């Protein structure tokens, strides 16, 4: 049952990977389709069910997925679907697909979506900037799955996908970056528009089409055709390391200049988190972001990044209601969110 996941913290929030003070997580995702089946958007219900059965049967033969759990999207209510979106386990698109399926394994590091835009989209999430480790896991799974499934593949173009931007390797590599200092000094506005020049794109907290709140930005590759997987990952890592350097420079400037005004901003954010009676999800994200920067620049006492990462997730609406084991109105969520944050920070 999904309820067990609310009591667990995903490994990718642990802040144990390289540069984890800035890189919340790295993700490698592969898109694959099964030869002989229409793409998901064109497939009949019969084809989608047959594809799902074939994929699930193949997954069960792979050790990586030993002990995994699968959930049919049509059997989940709206709250549980939103919980999976907030958990970064499914896309917002899969929510509306009745023949969709999610398979979760290995402490949520590994998951696989069935019948979203493509028949298969599986991903590995890692803490910090460790994309090559995630790639090795995904690559190993891909090799094993290909032994049981006949992928749609073309010698000229590579792996065939529903969206042309994924044709080729079918790989999407991304990093979730926390960039509050660059946002504070407005340098972020100059950096993000330049990403497209090197084949990258910036998205929000929940990926494509979502808002970048809490100073969290998801940087990923735009195209996959004509380049090797390792090359795509290395290109992304190179740019991410530059952005990390810029963020560190900006943090050092803030720490050096300091002053009562900036110190007050950090302490006010912490005071609100630990004393407010009502906090909206957006305000919580913004305050957690400011406190995280306050810790990084030394203006606030050390709070583990893992604890703050966890707050980014568990304060989201569906998580909050799953924790309370009941549906809540917007005002009730704001009240319970404030209580939850205070409880989480009380003994740190």
Using the structure block, give the residue that is written with the tokens 């946002």: 183
Residue 257: per-residue pLDDT = 87
Alpha-carbon dihedral sign for residues 240, 134, 281, 80? positive
246 and 192 together in one domain: yes
pLDDT digits (tens, 9 = 90+) for 64-118: 898 899 999 999 999 999 999 999 999 999 999 999 999 999 789 999 999 999 9
Per-residue confidence at 347, pLDDT binned at 50, 70, 90? confident
In total, how many domains does the chain have?
2
Residue 67: per-residue pLDDT = 87
In DSSP terms, 123 is beta-bridged to: 29, 111
287 and 166 together in one domain: no
- In CATH, what number is assigned to the domain containing residue 30? 3.30.590.10
Q: Cα dist. 235→198, 202, 225 in Å? A: 8, 15, 14
CA angle 58, 63, 66 (to 5 degrees): 90
88 close to 120: Cβ distance less than 8 angstroms: no
189 and 211 together in one domain: yes
Region of 209 (left: φ > 0; alpha: ψ -120 to 50; beta: rest) is: left
Average per-residue pLDDT for the chain:
93
In a domain, 293, yes or no: yes
Which of 232, 250, 268 is where one domain is finished?
Answer: 250
Radius of gyration of the chain (CA): 21
pLDDT digits (tens, 9 = 90+) for 223-232: 787 789 999 9
189 and 42 together in one domain: yes
Query: What's the half-sphere exposure (Cβ side, CA atoms, 13 Å) at 100?
Result: 24
Using the structure block, give the residue that is written with the tokens 């394994």: 105
**H or E segment to which residue 110 belongs:** strand 110-114
In a domain, 123, yes or no: yes
112 and 148 together in one domain: yes
User: What's the token pair of residue 52?
Assistant: 């799902």
Residue 135: which of 151, 122, 116, 118 has the closest Cα? 122
pLDDT digits (tens, 9 = 90+) for 112-138: 999 999 999 999 999 999 999 999 999
233 and 305 together in one domain: no
Q: Name the DSSP letter for residue 165.
A: G
Which of 250, 276, 294 is where one domain is finished?
Answer: 250
End-to-end Cα, the chain, rounded Å: 30
Long-range contacts of 43-49 (CB under 8 A, 24+ apart): 43/115, 45/98, 45/99, 48/99, 48/115, 49/99
Residue 206: per-residue pLDDT = 60
69 close to 3: Cβ distance less than 8 angstroms: no
**H or E segment to which residue 291 belongs:** helix 281-296
Compute the distance between CA of residue 40 and CA of residue 300 in angstroms, rounded to an integer: 50
Q: Is the model's pLDDT at 332 over the cut of 60?
A: yes
230 and 305 together in one domain: no
292 and 175 together in one domain: no
214 and 323 together in one domain: no
188 and 286 together in one domain: no
- As a 3-state breakdown, the chain gives helix, strand, coil percent values, each rounded to 5, of 50, 15, 30
Residue 107: per-residue pLDDT = 84
97 and 56 together in one domain: yes
Which of 250, 279, 296 is where one domain is finished?
Answer: 250
3-state secondary structure of 114: strand
**H or E segment to which residue 29 belongs:** strand 23-32
pLDDT digits (tens, 9 = 90+) for 25-37: 999 999 999 999 9
Region of 100 (left: φ > 0; alpha: ψ -120 to 50; beta: rest) is: beta
Q: Is the model's pLDDT at 323 over the cut of 90?
A: yes
In a domain, 255, yes or no: no
The distance of Cα 309 from the centroid of its chain, to the nearest Å, equals: 12
Residue 85: per-residue pLDDT = 95
What average pLDDT does the segment 243-253 reach? 97
- The proportion of the chain whose per-residue pLDDT surpasses 90, expressed as a percent, equals 83
pLDDT digits (tens, 9 = 90+) for 273-306: 999 999 999 999 999 999 999 999 999 999 999 9
Compute the distance between CA of residue 53 and CA of residue 61 in angstroms, rounded to an integer: 13
Per-residue confidence at 213, pLDDT binned at 50, 70, 90? confident
pLDDT digits (tens, 9 = 90+) for 165-210: 889 999 999 999 999 999 999 999 899 989 988 889 998 776 555 5
243 and 285 together in one domain: no
The range of the structural domain enclosing residue 324 comes to 260-346
């Amino acid at each position: 049952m999904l309820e067990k996941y609310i009591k667990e913290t995903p490994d990718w929030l642990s802040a144990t990977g390289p540069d984890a003070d800035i890189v919340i997580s790295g993700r490698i995702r592969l898109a694959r389709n099964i030869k002989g089946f229409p793409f998901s958007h064109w497939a009949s219900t019969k084809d989608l069910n047959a594809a799902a059965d074939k994929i699930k049967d193949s997954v069960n033969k792979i050790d990586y997925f030993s002990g995994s759990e699968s959930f049919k999207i049509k059997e989940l209510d709206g709250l549980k679907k939103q919980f999976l979106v907030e958990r970064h386990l499914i896309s917002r698109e899969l929510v509306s697909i009745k023949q969709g399926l999610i398979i979760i394994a290995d402490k949520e590091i590994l998951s696989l979506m069935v019948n979203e835009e493509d028949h298969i989209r599986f991903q590995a999430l890692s803490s910090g900037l460790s994309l090559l480790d995630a790639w090795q896991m995904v690559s190993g799974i891909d090799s094993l799955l290909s032994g049981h499934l006949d992928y749609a593949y073309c010698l000229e173009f590579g792996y065939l996908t529903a969206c042309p931007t994924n044709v080729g390797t079918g790989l999407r590599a991304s990093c979730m970056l926390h960039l509050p200092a660059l946002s504070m000094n407005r340098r972020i506005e100059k950096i993000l528009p330049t990403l497209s020049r090197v084949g990258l794109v910036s998205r929000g907290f929940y990926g494509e089409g979502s808002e970048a709140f809490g100073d969290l930005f998801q940087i990923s590759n735009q195209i996959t055709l004509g380049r090797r997987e390792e090359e795509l990952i290395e290109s992304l890592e190179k740019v991410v390391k530059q952005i990390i350097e810029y963020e560190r420079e900006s943090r050092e400037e803030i720490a050096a200049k300091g002053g009562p005004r900036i110190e007050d901003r950090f302490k006010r954010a912490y005071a609100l988190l630990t004393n407010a009676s009502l906090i909206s999800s957006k305000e919580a994200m913004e305050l957690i972001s400011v406190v995280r920067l306050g810790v990084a620049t030394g203006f606030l006492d050390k709070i583990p990044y893992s604890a703050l990462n966890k707050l980014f997730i568990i304060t989201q609406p569906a998580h909050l209601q799953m924790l309370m084991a009941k549906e809540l109105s917007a005002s009730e969520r704001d009240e319970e969110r404030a209580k939850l944050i205070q409880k989480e920070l009380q003994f740190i």
